[in-house]
Amino acid sequence: MKRVLVMAAIAWIFSAAPLGAAEHEGQASISERFREARALAFEGRRAEASALCLEILSEDPGASETKTLLGRINAWEGNYDQARKLLSEVVDANPRDADARRALIDVEVWSGRPEIARELAKQGLELRPGNSNLLVASARALSKLGLAEEALAAAKEAVVADPDDYEKRKFYRLLLEDTQKNKLTADYRREWFNDSTEPWAMTSISYRREFGWGSIIPRLNVAERFGQTDVQFEVDSYPEVGDQMYAYLNFGVSGNDLFPEIRYGAELYRNFRKGWEASFGFRRLEFDSGAVTIVTGSVARYIGKYWIEVRPQFVTKDSGDSFSGRVRIRRFFNGRYEYMELSAGAGDDLGSDLVDTASDLDSSSVQVSYNRRVRDSLILKSTLGIERENLSNGRNRDGIFFRLGLDYLF
């Protein structure tokens, strides 16, 4: 009898071993397929990723990671109802699942329900205090509700909780723009030439203050050219004019050695659908030797992280009329202050709204600018450019210029 029992046990062990191995292989297969689905989703191959997720869920309906991924894919595709259903099932089954909850908060924010998103974040942080991902999600919801200070506080707490996460730091700095209403700016530009002309220099100091109606910017400019120094004081303002329009207003005075004795101008900007913007305005520069009128405007468009502007200008003065134009292409990195810009212009009196008006005739220039936030409240700005001027005496003059500046935001 004992021998029979031993033989039966051995037979059971051998018969059970393949089944256990098969189960293990099945589990490994699901895990591998989930990783494949996740990779496909982040590569943008969402249809394939969705199909793989559905395949996994048909075998294991309780696979929460897979259901969360499928919910995210639906949210990215704009299928908010289906995404909400899938993610709510995961959160209801496990309220402490921070990944699914964060995805559900994103769905509510993207679908225009920030109040619900805020409540979901609040509940999640009660269960998982200090969770950096939930803090970021909470900050997004608060920002959508217009609670800038509370959103910034949540984002800052997320950075403190996870100081090595660069994306969280970028998000925090992006939210700073909603609270930093003041900006102090210092700029220095210097230009060298290939002839006997002494280098030119220009120093500017300005302060910008934002209000509910727009902004105002007083500025002090100091120019050094041809052995002379001149000081100009000017004020810019950008008041809002309705929901889709704003204006640019300018007035300045100087000693009239290099700058115009008086300058003023105005331009009206209008926003249109699909990221388009257009403007039309003028500048008036009055020197002792005469006056210059500049009629200008622009057509611009935002395309994703890019901004492209075309600006022509028509100049009228005693010596005749002229025409020039400039194109600017700007690539934003994080918010409105961090970007790289390529600018090129050509035509007569290209620099007519700058110092030493009327010395340029046919000219052209190309420049590259780079602005980077090096601290939460400090932005480093730089520009490098080259230009060629065909002067009135028939000579050509080439120049290279460099500009360095700092913005302090508070």
Residues 6 or more apart in contact with residue 28 via CB below 8 angstroms: none
CATH number of the domain at 182-409, out of 2.40.160.10, 2.102.10.10, 1.10.1060.10, 3.40.190.10? 2.40.160.10
Q: Of 326, 403, 347, nearest to 370 (Cα)? A: 403
Indicate the DSSP class of residue 206: E
Containing 398, the helix (H) or strand (E) segment is strand 396-409
pTM comes to 0.75
Predicted local distance difference test score (pLDDT) of residue 165: 93
Predicted local distance difference test score (pLDDT) of residue 73: 96
Predicted local distance difference test score (pLDDT) of residue 20: 42
Give the Cα separation of 143 and 126 in Å (integer).
20
Indicate the DSSP class of residue 227: T
Indicate the DSSP class of residue 162: S
22 or 195, greater pLDDT = 195
Predicted local distance difference test score (pLDDT) of residue 7: 53
Domain limits, the chain: 27-176, 182-409
- Amino acid identity, position 35: R
Give the Cα separation of 52 and 204 in Å (integer).
59
| pLDDT tens digits, 294-329 | 999 999 999 999 999 999 999 988 878 889 999 999
Q: Are strands 276-287 and 290-303 parallel, antiparallel or unpaired?
A: antiparallel
Beta bridge partners of 308: 301, 329
Q: What is the mean pLDDT of residues 116-144?
A: 95
Greatest CA separation for the chain: 125
CATH architecture of the domain covering 27-176: Alpha Horseshoe (1.25)
**Length reported for the chain:** 410
Q: Please check whether residue 87 is in contact with residue 64, taking contact to mean a CB–CB distance below 8 angstroms.
A: no
Give the Cα separation of 71 and 77 in Å (integer).
10
Q: Quick check: helix, strand or coil at residue 103? A: helix
The token pair that represents 213 in the structure block: 């109606």
